């Protein structure tokens, strides 16, 4: 039926790599070469997963001959059963001549109250009044809310066609484009054991069509974050970023359990419940409901956003006095018209949302994760894989079943969150962590490694903190503490998590640095002015102090030696019962200005030593100033005003400086003095106590 479309991609098997061989052995019969589905994209008016459904049936092999044979079958079925532009009347004619025809189409249904009958719409045939039996509708209710792709057997009844207002076309059979395989969870759990965590991440990415080698580790993490709504119930996510980065690809092309709502009017009846007949909406029928081009989305009633806010909080909505529970995740995706740095300068990162959402901090508080879409490259053919991955319907079925499982019990007591996280923050982080761990460990019996737990916690905190930072920008005082942190184990070091877009390599952020790191400002000297440095100290087994810089300046070597002597002489009052002589301290100096000598950095270096030995961070936004001498005294500061002005320029919130500089700083302008807090110290111990986080 219709003209034959020649296959344009070679059926020759690409060389198998190690991951292909592992996948073929672990998931025999459940894998498909992902570039095969792409050959049908654009040729036939159906999503990618429809083609993969057929490929999974006929081409789940690594044997080139079997693949070639299966491709011919799939190509024939796609050609004969999908309706391309201009072929609608041809299909109708075939139905009339043969009595019935098979096709693949998007099936939606509605109840016609006048005739008390259900009617189906088949958009590719431009038919909206196709007969269907009630039992077929009741066993496939999703056709009433948004529809789904299915293999349809369409009959034509010439006798009914003769009747007044007759409806000759009728659906007599349909098969949804999805498989519900018994035991598939056990198959995937067993197969997963053959892979390392990194290999499994790469197989997941290949299974949704991407080639992991073409993406940075950062971009791979974001692509994995996009999968969480499929495995975690009632997960609310936002992803905004440049156009063309594939934000809606996963929700439109990969899984029949997801539904994409394009920009425009969203009705409460369609989303949640139709009060007239009680019909449940999209969030009840689908695992994931994604709003694409979210800036253009609006509800048909004033209460629409409030109903969605209530659902995002509790997973419930009402029909009269009846409370209805649903588990569909909500994903909002949209575009920035500018880059992320400019977006932050002109407003906040929720700016592209519709007006009724963009400045509503209560709405934002219900977002569990804000994905940084700007860190994903624009899609082109080089980013898509030609290797093997799990068949989409198998993957989506496993994801859907993982929604019933929980990994938080397996990590109970292994990680503690910092005091900056509110109850909603903790819930959001836990949901993201749970989703990531389910993706990595589909078998609940597999022990979760510490490094994978930490990876999940850091990503989860970053995505939730991004929400909190926007709330803070809008001006709500209750959201001012955004210093998210965690500890692995009861004796673990407290580690702080930042959002990269707020960090600048050569500026002092307001987040605490890891233990052993300190921002420092050198007062300069005859040949150079004040300069910003960062002193990094790592503690390890051994003894002594080692400078990691290959060619360290003489003045900095002197600062390191004076700091070391003061640490040894005053160890008890600085680091308690820790003996610094039993630890090797490795020091590295990083310069961010023209000043390079690192002179007069004895006190900041000493603070870095103490932070590393105590496993404690210094206050965020703090810059330390001061030189030490061998006797433990503080060197005078000669350019305190210039140092304070540089600290403000570099983004410091607090300047830690010797008390001897107090009179000089009386000359600091009012404008500068209003932008920074000055902390004076009298000796090294006083400086340490004032610098450490509370």
**β-bridge partners, 44:** 41
Q: What is the mean pLDDT of residues 381-388?
A: 91
pLDDT of residue 456: 98
Q: What is the mean pLDDT of residues 205-229?
A: 97
pLDDT of residue 11: 47
Q: Is the pLDDT of residue 1 over 50?
A: no
Cα separation, 487 vs 483, whole angstroms = 13
Helices (H), 334-407: 340-346, 355-358, 361-364, 392-402
Cα separation, 452 vs 497, whole angstroms = 16
Instruction: State the chain's mean pLDDT as an integer.
Output: 89
Tell me how far the alpha carbon of residue 505 is from its chain's centroid. Answer: 23
pLDDT of residue 505: 66
Cα separation, 477 vs 468, whole angstroms = 11
Number of neighbours of residue 216 by Cβ within 10 angstroms: 12
Q: Is the pLDDT of residue 315 over 60?
A: yes
Q: Is the pLDDT of residue 33 over 70?
A: yes
580 vs 182, which has greater pLDDT?
A: 580
Query: What is the DSSP annotation of 233-299?
Result: TT-EEEEEE-TTS-TTHIIIII-TTEEEE-SSEE-HHHHTB-TTT--B-HHHH-SEEEESSGGG-EE
User: Could you read off the pLDDT of 616-657 as tens digits, one per residue?
Assistant: 999 999 999 999 998 889 999 989 999 999 999 999 999 999
pLDDT of residue 175: 87
**Buried b / exposed e along 293-303 (16+ C-beta atoms within 10 A):** bbbebebeeee
pLDDT of residue 10: 45
Which of 115-122's residues contact partners 24+ apart within 8 Å by CB, and which partners? 119/167, 120/171, 121/147, 122/152, 122/154
pLDDT band at 220 (very low <50, low <70, confident <90, very high): very high
User: Could you read off the pLDDT of 233-278 as tens digits, one per residue?
Assistant: 999 999 999 999 999 889 988 888 899 988 767 888 889 988 888 8
User: Could you read off the pLDDT of 142-152 as tens digits, one per residue?
Assistant: 788 778 889 99
- DSSP label at residue 213: G
pLDDT of residue 14: 64
Q: Which of 185-199, 386-400, 500-514 has the highest mean pLDDT?
A: 185-199
pLDDT of residue 486: 92
pLDDT of residue 626: 95
User: Could you read off the pLDDT of 422-476 as tens digits, one per residue?
Assistant: 999 999 999 999 999 999 999 999 999 999 999 999 999 999 999 998 988 887 6
Q: Is the pLDDT of residue 554 over 80?
A: yes
pLDDT band at 489 (very low <50, low <70, confident <90, very high): confident
**β-bridge partners, 390:** 31
Q: Is the pLDDT of residue 9 over 50?
A: no
pLDDT of residue 678: 97
For the chain, domains (ranges, CATH) are 18-81 (no CATH), 88-176 (2.40.50), 504-691 (3.30.230.10)
Cα separation, 65 vs 59, whole angstroms = 10
Query: How large a percentage of the chain has pLDDT more than 70?
Result: 95
Q: What is the mean pLDDT of residues 157-166?
A: 90
**Buried b / exposed e along 105-131 (16+ C-beta atoms within 10 A):** bbbbbeeeeeeeebbbbbebbebebbb
| Residue 681 contacts residue 690 (beta carbons within 8 Å) | yes
Q: Is the pLDDT of residue 283 over 60?
A: yes
pLDDT band at 7 (very low <50, low <70, confident <90, very high): very low
**Beta strands per DSSP E along 140-235:** 148-156, 169-176
pLDDT band at 188 (very low <50, low <70, confident <90, very high): very high
Among 24-28, 297-301, 365-369, the range scoring the smallest mean pLDDT is 297-301
Among 48-57, 185-194, 595-604, the range scoring the smallest mean pLDDT is 48-57
Report, in this order, helix, strand and coil percent for the chain, each rounded to 5: 40, 20, 40
Closest-CA residue to 23 (of 180, 181, 185, 188)? 188
Q: Is the pLDDT of residue 6 over 60?
A: no
At how many degrees (to 10) do helices 554-569 and 602-614 cross?
50
Q: Is the pLDDT of residue 308 over 50?
A: yes
């Amino acid at each position: 039926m219709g003209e034959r479309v020649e296959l344009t991609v070679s059926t020759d098997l690409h060389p198998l790599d190690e991951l292909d061989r592992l996948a073929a052995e672990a998931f025999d019969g459940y894998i498909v070469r992902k570039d095969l589905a792409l050959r049908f994209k654009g040729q036939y008016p159906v999503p990618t997963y429809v083609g993969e459904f057929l490929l999974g049936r006929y081409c789940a092999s690594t044997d080139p001959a079997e693949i070639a044979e299966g491709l011919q079958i799939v190509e024939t079925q796609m050609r004969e059963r999908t309706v391309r532009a201009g072929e609608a009347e041809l299909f109708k004619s075939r139905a009339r001549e043969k009595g019935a025809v098979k096709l693949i189409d998007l099936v939606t249904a509605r109840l016609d109250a006048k005739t008390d009958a259900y009617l189906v719409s088949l958009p590719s045939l431009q038919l909206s009044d196709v007969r269907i039996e009630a039992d077929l509708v009741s066993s496939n209710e999703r056709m009433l809310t948004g529809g789904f792709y299915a293999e349809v057997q369409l009959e034509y009844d010439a006798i009914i066609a003769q009747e007044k207002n007759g409806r000759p076309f009728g659906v007599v059979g349909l098969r949804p484009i999805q498989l519900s395989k018994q035991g598939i969870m056990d198959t995937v759990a067993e197969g997963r054991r053959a892979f390392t965590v990194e290999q499994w991440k790469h197989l997941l990415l290949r299974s949704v069509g991407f080639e992991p080698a073409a993406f940075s580790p950062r971009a791979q993490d974001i692509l994995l974050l996009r999968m969480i709504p499929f495995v975690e119930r009632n997960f609310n996510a936002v992803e905004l970023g440049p156009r063309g980065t594939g934000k809606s690809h996963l929700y439109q092309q990969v899984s029949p359990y997801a539904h994409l709502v394009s920009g425009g009017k969203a009705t409460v009846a369609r989303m949640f419940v139709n009060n007239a007949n009680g019909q449940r909406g999209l969030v009840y029928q689908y695992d994931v409901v994604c709003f694409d081009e979210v800036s253009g989305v609006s509800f048909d009633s004033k209460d629409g956003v409030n109903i969605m806010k209530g659902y995002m909080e509790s997973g419930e909505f009402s029909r009269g006095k009846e409370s209805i529970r649903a588990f569909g995740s909500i994903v909002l995706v949209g575009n920035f018209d500018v880059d992320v740095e400019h977006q932050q300068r002109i407003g906040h990162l929720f700016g592209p949302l519709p007006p009724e959402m963009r400045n509503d901090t209560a709405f934002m508080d219900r977002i569990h994760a804000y994905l940084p879409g700007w860190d994903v490259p624009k899609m082109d053919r080089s980013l898509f894989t030609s290797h093997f991955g799990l068949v989409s319907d198998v993957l989506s079925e496993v994801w859907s079943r993982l929604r019933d499982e929980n990994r938080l019990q397996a990590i109970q007591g292994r990680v503690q969150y910092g005091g900056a996280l509110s109850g909603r923050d903790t819930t959001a982080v836990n949901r993201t962590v749970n989703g990531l761990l389910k993706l990595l460990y589909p078998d609940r019996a597999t022990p979760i490694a510490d490094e994978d737990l930490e990876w999940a916690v850091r990503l989860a905190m970053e995505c939730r903190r991004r929400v909190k930072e926007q709330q803070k920008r809008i001006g709500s005082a209750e959201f001012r503490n955004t210093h998210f942190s965690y500890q692995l184990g009861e004796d673990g070091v407290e580690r702080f998590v930042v959002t990269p877009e707020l960090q600048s390599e050569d500026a002092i952020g307001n987040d605490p640095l890891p233990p052993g790191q300190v921002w420092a400002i050198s007062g300069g000297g005859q040949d150079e002015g004040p300069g910003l440095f960062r002193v990094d100290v790592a503690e390890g087994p051994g003894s002594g102090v080692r400078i990691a810089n290959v060619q360290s300046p003489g003045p900095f070597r002197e600062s390191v030696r004076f700091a070391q002597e003061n640490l040894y002489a005053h160890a008890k009052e600085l680091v308690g019962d820790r003996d610094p002589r039993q630890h090797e301290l490795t020091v590295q100096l990083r310069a961010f200005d023209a000043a390079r000598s690192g002179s007069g950095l004895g006190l900041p270096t000493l603070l870095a030593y103490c932070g590393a030995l105590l496993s404690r961070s210094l206050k965020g936004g703090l810059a330390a100033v001061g030189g030490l001498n061998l006797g433990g005294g503080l060197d005078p500061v000669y350019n305190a005003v210039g140092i304070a002005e540089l600290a403000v320029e570099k983004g410091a919130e607090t300047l830690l400086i010797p008390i001897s500089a107090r009179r000089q700083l009386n000359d600091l302008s009012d404008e500068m003095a209003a932008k920074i807090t000055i902390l004076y110290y009298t000796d090294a111990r006083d400086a340490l106590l004032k610098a450490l986080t509370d």
